[in-house]
Structures are given as structure tokens and as C-alpha cells.
Amino acid sequence: MPKFEYAPAPESRSIVSLRESYGLFINGEFGPGVDGRAFKTISPATEEVLAEVTEAGPADVDRAVTAARKAYEHSWSAMPGRERAKYLFRIARIIQERARELAVLESLDNGKPIRESRDVDIPLVAAHFFYHAGWADKLEYAGYGPAPRPLGVAGQVIPWNFPLLMLAWKIAPALACGNTVVLKPAETTPLTALAFAEICQQADLPPGVVNIVTGAGETGRTLVEHPGIDKVAFTGSTEVGKQIARACAPTRKKVTLELGGKAANVVFEDAPVDQAVEGIVNGIFFNQGHVCCAGSRLLVQESVYSDVLASLRRRLATLRLGDPLDKNTDVGAINSAAQLAKIRELSEVGEAEGAQRWSPPCELPVKGFWFPPTIFTGVSQAHRIAREEIFGPVLSVLTFRTPAEAVEKANNTPYGLSAGVWTEKGSLILWMASRLRAGVVWANTFNKFDPTSPFGGYKESGYGREGGRHGLEAYLDV
Ligand code: NDP
């Protein structure tokens, strides 16, 4: 098959004006941390230092929670929904106006291809604020009683895989329902959250309604354990999610957890192979596989195994890995050295346990953190690469003979966040969907997100839903 050569098509980064250092965003203003600690955030594609960011300590978290409480009591919770809606609409429009800048900033700090930050992340961020702006004055029609009340101050901790999108998933519903927030972005990707703080200023949001405290895991722990928090919302690893659940259990805090996944993407023999292969690629190589709902376990019906694998290998050979800011890039950089080490380690375990590893010929840049798209075949259900979340561009391939076997294998995981089904038979889709223990089941597509659609997991993938009418429940006193 002829392979096209693409000329470089870099997106200009001149639209982003990075500051040398960033303070904490508390009570509507940027300011220094109490104990003067800071850390650097780098571009994972080049290891270039992008900026220095303040590390919030306990005194800073306390200031942020106090500011959020004051804003909750004196302005935000008492404000009519239609007035809150105006702020959310304004924020959504500013996000649209600054979309290009936000996309470039996200790709710089996270390493994801600009094509994804530009076409997926940022449009969804704006959509989330638009959608929840629509709810702010209609909460009495959401099905939670005639006058649903907010909870108070929300402490929110988010990961690095979709930095601004996870912020939107957390902040938009919280504000729409009348809560105020203190949010901690991930240590490796704080820049778009800080840009969002500027957007709050631009939108004239009352001081203290949104507070952003940057820092590492310890800052997150201090925030979720702060006694002034009424609600905790966390997205991240199952391990940290369990720690948070334990810490909050003896308190009156309401908690929602969106944790890991090990989704099965199930391909039946009647599925159109090319379409399914696109779905498999999107399922596991989108965002370098740094996706909680990634289709990391491919289950292929035995009768079409060789066809699907041959097409998949051909398709992988056409993926372009490299500069995240190049508009032709399909696979960007791994977010951090630590994540790269974890992906390498689990891949080595896969080989040691007897699975066969394959990657297309692929030149990796010398600087930065990179891992080629990788497939493991000959994987059994007991292998660690079939059970543990790798959170990288690594696909484990298994086979099945009957739909019942597919269901059994798909559900054989401690997780339950998402699943995919590929078949031409509508009846089989419904049969599978009613048996798969996963919060989201995609049929003949994968990794499709929409603010109107609730998202969340079963089992060790966490509890609570984000998005849609169901997502409002997490921020209302019901
Ligand atoms: P973490 O769960 O450690 O990080 C998620 C967020 O929680 C970050 O903001 C982190 O801060 C913060 N945090 C860390 N420790 C605590 C704590 N004790 N209390 C409160 N907040 C805390 O994920 P990692 O980034 O360490 O990734 C580890 C693995 O987790 C990945 O390899 C992947 O398998 C999985 N993961 C899953 C995600 C999902 O959406 N399902 C998202 C991210 C990771 P900081 O970044 O500063 O450490």
C-alpha cells in the first residue's frame, strides 16, 4: 500500500504567551503561595521547561476553601439560576474565542496531538459549559425535587490526560447547581487550568467562585481532607480513589470517583472490518491510550481474527508519531517520564509472560517521552497486560467464539467503565449491552463523548456520574 509522505504542518505556538511563573488563583486573583514553593512544568515532547508553577501548601488550600465558602454564602448560592447561567454562557463563549490558544497550550503541556486538542478536547470543553449553562435556571425540572439545593464548596482533583476537559466536567455542573469550587489540576498539566482562571477573570465571575490550587499529590490530599469541603469529585487512579474514599468515609462529604478502566472492544465476525479497525485504533491510540475508557482489550471473534489483525497491522503502519503541534500527527508524546516507565514495565511483563509484542516500524524522537503504538497477541486473561490499566498506546488482543464467551471475557475485570461492540446485528448489540457491566457501551463507534450523556463506572471504576441530567445529582443536596 503506498504511504503518503506529509510535509511538516506545525501549528504556530505564537498564539500562546506563557508567563515565566504562575501564582495560585484564590479569591479571583493570582498570588504567591504562603511558603514560596514552586515546581516546573515541561513539554513532554521536548522536555523544555514551559513555566514555573506555585505549589500550594495547607495554608493556601485553607485560604482557597475559605474564599470559596465566602463566595458560596455571600454571592453564588443565593444568585438566581438565570444569573449564574449568564456567567456560564460567557465562560463558554470566551473558551470558543480562545480555542486555538487553549488547544496549543494543551498540546504543549500534555503532549497530545493538536488535531485532538483542537477538534475534540476544546470543543467539548465549550460544549460542557454551554450545556450546563442551560441547566442553571432549570434545575427544578431535572427530577430532583421542586427546589434542589446546592451542596456548598466542592474540592475537585483532576488528572493529566484531558486537563481542560476534566476541569470542565468538574466545574461546569458544580457552578450550574450553585456550588463554588477549589480545583487542583495534575502536577504535569497545570497550564490550561491557569488559563481557565484568567477566563474566569475575563468573565467577571465573582471572586472565590472558582479557585485553582496547583501542586502535587499532597496538595490534592490536603484539599480532599479539608474539613471545609462539602463535596469531593476525583478523577484519577483507582489506588488514589480508594485512599480518598477511605479518608471521606467518616465525614459527611459527598464523593464521586471516576477511576481506571480496562475496556473490552468486542469485534464480531459480521462487523465491517475496515470500520472496526478504525474503531480499534481510535479506542486505544487516541490520546496515546491515556484514556480511562480506552478499548485496551480487543476481543475478536476467532473466525475473523487473521483478517482483523492483518488490517490492524496495516493501519498501524500508517499512524504518524511525533511533534504534537504538527497537524498531521496521530500519536503524540507520553505525558511524563513516570508514565513512560510504567508503560515500558508492563510491556516487558507482557513479553515475559509469553505474549507476542508487535509495533510498526516507527522512529521515535530522541528528546521527550515516546512509546510506539504496540499490539500484544497471544494474550490470556490471566496476563497482567489483560488485567491492569497500562494507560498507554498498548493493545492486548484476545479471541472468543460465541457471544456468551465474549460477555464472560469482557466482564472478567475488576473495572467497569466502558465497552465497545462491533456487529451489523442490532439485536446482538442490545443483547451485549444488557450484559456488559460497563457504564458506557459504544456500538459501532468508540470514545464518543457528549455533555448530555452521563459517564461513569461500575466496580473499581468508581461511582457517580458526570454529564447529562444524572451528573447534576452529584452537585445537588438530594
Ligand atoms: P493519580 O490518581 O495519582 O492522579 C490523579 C490526580 O490526583 C492528580 O491531580 C494527582 O496529583 C492527585 N493525587 C495524587 N495523590 C493524591 C492523593 N493522595 N489525594 C488526592 N489527590 C491525589 O494518577 P497518576 O497521575 O499518578 O497516574 C497513575 C496511574 O493512574 C496511571 O498510570 C493510570 O493507570 C491511572 N490514571 C487513570 C486515570 C483515569 O482517568 N482513569 C487518570 C490518570 C491516571 P499529581 O498529578 O500532582 O500527582
**Total domains present in the chain:** 2
Beta-carbon count within 10 A of 115 CB: 19
State the helix-helix crossing angle for 163-176 and 99-110, rounded to 10 degrees: 130
Q: Do 252 and 373 lie in a common domain? A: no
Query: Residue 146 falls within a domain, yes or no?
Result: yes
Q: Is the distance from CB of 156 to CB of 171 less than 8 angstroms?
A: yes
Q: Per-residue confidence of the chain (478 residues) as pLDDT tens digits?
A: 556 788 999 999 999 999 999 999 999 999 999 999 999 999 999 999 999 999 999 999 999 999 999 999 999 999 999 999 999 999 999 999 999 999 999 999 999 999 999 999 999 999 999 999 999 999 999 999 999 999 999 999 999 999 999 999 999 999 999 999 999 999 999 999 999 999 999 999 999 999 999 999 999 999 999 999 999 999 999 999 999 999 999 999 999 999 999 999 999 999 999 999 999 999 999 999 999 999 999 999 999 999 999 999 999 999 999 999 999 999 999 999 999 999 999 999 999 999 999 999 999 999 999 999 999 999 999 999 999 999 999 999 999 999 999 999 999 999 999 999 999 999 999 999 999 999 999 999 999 999 999 999 999 999 999 999 999 999 999 9
Cβ of 241 closer than 6 Å to ligand 1, yes or no, is: no
Q: How far apart are CA 156 and CA 168, in angstroms?
A: 11
- The CATH number linked to 271 is 3.40.309.10
Q: Which domain holds residue 221?
A: 21-259+458-475
Radius of gyration of the chain (CA): 22
Return d(Cα 416, Cα 384) in angstroms, integer. 17
Kindly give the distance from the C-alpha atom of residue 339 to the centroid of ligand 1, in angstroms, as a whole number. Answer: 11
Mutate which of 219, 240, 296, 415 for ligand 1? The one with the most ligand atoms within 8 Å of its CB, which is 240
Query: For ligand 1, is residue 224 a contact (CB within 6 Å)?
Result: yes
Are the beta carbons of 156 and 184 closer than 8 angstroms? yes
For residue 470, the domain's CATH number is 3.40.605.10
Do 143 and 106 share a structural domain? yes
Residues 116, 88 within the same domain: yes
Residue 219 lies in a domain: yes
Q: Are residues 292 and 253 in the same domain?
A: no
Question: What is the Å distance from ligand 1's center to 236 Cα?
Answer: 4
Is residue 30 located within the same domain as residue 90? yes
For ligand 1, atom 35, which residue shows the shortest CA distance? Answer: 237
pTM of the model: 0.97
Q: Does 312 lie in the same domain as 297?
A: yes
137 inside domain: yes
Cα–Cα distance measured from residue 312 to residue 276, given in angstroms and rounded to the nearest whole number: 9
Pocket perturbation via mutation, ligand 1, pick of 53, 156, 237 by most ligand atoms within 8 A of CB: 237
C-alpha span between 319 and 330 (Å, rounded)? 6
Task: Please tell me whether residues 255 and 268 are part of one structural domain.
Answer: no
State the Cα–Cα distance between residues 72 and 123, nearest whole angstrom: 29
Q: Tell me how far apart the alpha carbons of residues 265 and 450 are, in angstroms, rounded to a whole number.
A: 20
The kind and range of the H/E element at 429 are helix 426-433
